[in-house]
Chains A and B, each alone.
Chain A
Amino acid sequence: MTTSQEDASETREASDAKSDPEALVEAFCVDVARVEDEIHKRIVGQDDTLRGVLTCLLAGGHALLEGVPGLGKTLMVRTLADVLDLRFNRIQFTPDLMPADIVGTNVLTEAVDGAHRVEFREGPVFANVVLADEVNRATPKTQSALLEVMQEHSVTVSGRTRKMDEPYLVLATQNPLEMEGTYPLPEAQLDRFLLKLQVGFPTREELHGILERTTGAMTDDIHAVLGAPRILEMRGVVREVAVARHVRDYAIRLLTATHPDHPSAPDEVRRFVRFGASPRGAQACLLAARVRCLLAQRFAVATEDLREVMKAALRHRLILNFEGEAEGVAPDDLLAAVIEAVPERAD
């Protein structure tokens, strides 16, 4: 059975079980497990990073991956595109990259009959999965070209707006070590990433696997296990997950505690943070928590889901002040203080 046939059968099964949350959740988990299994055929370890990328895919957001070169970020994204049977484009950001280079431009073409026409030639952003490699190497002007497509899933060139195919996912990578010749991402653009994932160094066992796979015989038998329709259905399931008011209230209290001028903010936040997370951060927390809830085969978001996804969803939304920058304060430490300071039960 080909991938298309498999997708069709799964779609039918999903429609039959539409009114059955238990079945929906079970199918959701099965599909995610299949994707992860397939990716792990090529990627060793990086479970959290992979789970974060999938969370962004299923929640309808974008991910920013940060890590030193050589950790497999690009390979992971490429493999994900292969597994999902989605159109994939990679953009290597450089300082001389222009906005038109990524969104596309109108070019003058000559037809067979000699007539000249202006045609829009799509940039690399026109894909389902876009890898913006080393995104902080481009100028802010070029980086800003991603703003519209990331938020609106559309591109406007010469007054004409062109929609992207869904699902649309931007996965950007950046190197934290190379500060020379890089341009920090604007806060507005950072805010558009659902999660910022820290790609950690593999463990010793993972390194054994990496070396074995990459230096041995080429056995690349990756198959696409999910198509775009199924992904869109799964996104719908994510939106169906129930959230009780007290859980939502907990998310709000976590968010407000990141603001230094809020009474519930811990001392660390008051000292090192200039601006706290925006409401988009609470949205990101809740969306990511829904995905995590489903992956735990539950039907309503728990407070622990929020705590688990909070760092990835908010670490790039905290703007440190001069003292925080000077002291090299890690946003994850601040968020840990926030989690500790905010009680789960509101009095």
Chain B
Amino acid sequence: MTASMGLDIPAEHKFLSVLGTAVSSFVELVGDATLAYAVQLAVHEVCANAIDHAYPQEAGAMPDEARIRVQVQANGEAVRARVADNGRFFDPHTLNWPLTTQWETVETADGAAYRLLHVAEPGIDQERGRGIFLIRQLMDEVLYAGQAGQNVWQLTKVLQ
């Protein structure tokens, strides 16, 4: 059986609690609390990152049309989350400071994407850079693609 849910929220930090509660409750119904927390946190980090970087605050007030769309799908084998924003594109290869990230190019059903292979562990007193590290640690597969005017992240957690 496949179960799915979707949410469409304004791209602002204050709405992420709504998203977190919904994603967590949904995943807990198909898995357990530990899985729910992991998926909630990974989705949250992708969204928080998009709000900060895809919709830069220095550009002024957040445009009304700045949205984040999240879909979560679960079957007996895996939980998959798709996070799409309509902010500016980012080039994964520019993510090298203060982080060191490794990506590979892959072909998916929706076209070319980048698969996140590795994120170097942030230094112990480093303040920034733990978001992408956490996403990689929490998920079994992390894909990013710039598609049709959107940044699309696909996160997969395989069920044990």
Q: Do A and B come together as binding partners?
A: no
A: which residues have CB within 8 A of B?
A: none
| B interface residues (Cβ-Cβ under 8 A, vs A) | none
